[in-house]
Chain A
Amino acid sequence: MADLVIPQAILDDMVAHAKELAPCECCGLLAGTDQTVTKIYRIKNVVALEGAQQLASFDSAKIAHLERLSPAERAEIAFVMDAQDLAMAQKDMRRNGLTLQVVYHSHPHDPARPSVTDIKIATDYEEYWGKINLPVPAYLLVSLMQHTPDVQTYWIRGGQVTKAAVDVQQ
């Protein structure tokens, strides 16, 4: 049985989002009910804002790397979700009886698997989800490294990464 059901139209929308922002990383959320995704929320990537790299739980090596880059270049190797957009999405989910299912982002230059940074931050974030009244989501990566975009979904728990079983609904 699938862990998640994602409609093809929403997969297409995520890939389109990734292509629109390339070479920068895009990010967003998928929500639905009963493990079935019904809605996509595109979220602004605010990694270029002053100070974002420090508060966003990046490890010190990643912060040092980001600080050597221009603000525009930072968005090619990292994302930080706009907290205002997240709050709006959370409110919309609550109003429509939806549950957070997936956090997605793109890797314009790298494969569709979580980076060391992705795993570290997802692991740090496990302690926050309950406090902000959201379930622990799956993590979806869109890679634009090859000509054909690659989309893969994972669970990240306790620093361990496992593939999530996704059914695509036509």
Chain B
Amino acid sequence: MIKVRIPTPLRPLTKNQGEVDIAAGSIGDMVNTLESTYPGIKARLCDDSGELRRFVNIYVNEEDIRFLKGKDTALKAGDEVSIVPAIAGG
């Protein structure tokens, strides 16, 4: 299983859970698995072409997936994935 950390703005979609455990072999697989359990989450993370949106970072064990293999980044049991919204303010 993979542990996925869900940021506050997405918790309304995950029944207010801050962490969810799912089975997934890659980041793309993880996003689709999350979407099947928590509909609507994929559109918040990816644009219409499936690319990661410009205001979200996904880290696998503290490494940004943009410097791994993006959505093809492989996941193995015990990995921790953090979904982190962009730094923002007003």
A residues contacting B by CB (< 8 A) are: 27, 46-47, 49, 51-52, 54-58, 62, 77-84, 86-87, 90-91, 103, 105, 114-118, 121-122, 124-125, 128, 131-133
Contact = CB atoms under 8 A, between A and B. Distances in A.
B88 A57 contact: yes
B44 interface: yes
B57 A78 contact: no
A47 B53 CA distance: 12
| 3 closest Cβ pairs, A-B complex | A117-B90, A56-B88, A118-B89
Chain B interface mostly = mixed
A103 B89 CA distance: 10
Contacts of B44: 51, 54-55
Which of B44, B54, B62, B89 is most buried by chain A, counting CB atoms within 10 A of its CB? Answer: B89
25 contacts: A46-B55, A49-B54, A52-B55, A52-B86, A55-B7, A55-B85, A56-B55, A56-B85, A56-B86, A58-B88, A83-B54, A84-B54, A86-B57, A86-B86, A87-B64, A87-B66, A90-B64, A91-B64, A115-B90, A121-B89, A128-B7, A128-B84, A131-B62, A132-B59, A132-B62
Interface in B41-85: 43-44, 52-57, 59, 62, 64, 66-67, 82, 84-85
B64 A121 contact: no
Interface of B: 5, 7-10, 43-44, 52-57, 59, 62, 64, 66-67, 82, 84-90
A62 B90 contact: yes
A143 to B, nearest CB: 13
Contacts of B88: 47, 56-58, 78-81, 121
Contact of B89 (A46, A79, A83): A79
Contacts of A131: 5, 59, 62, 82, 84
Contact of A55 (B9, B59, B67, B82): B9
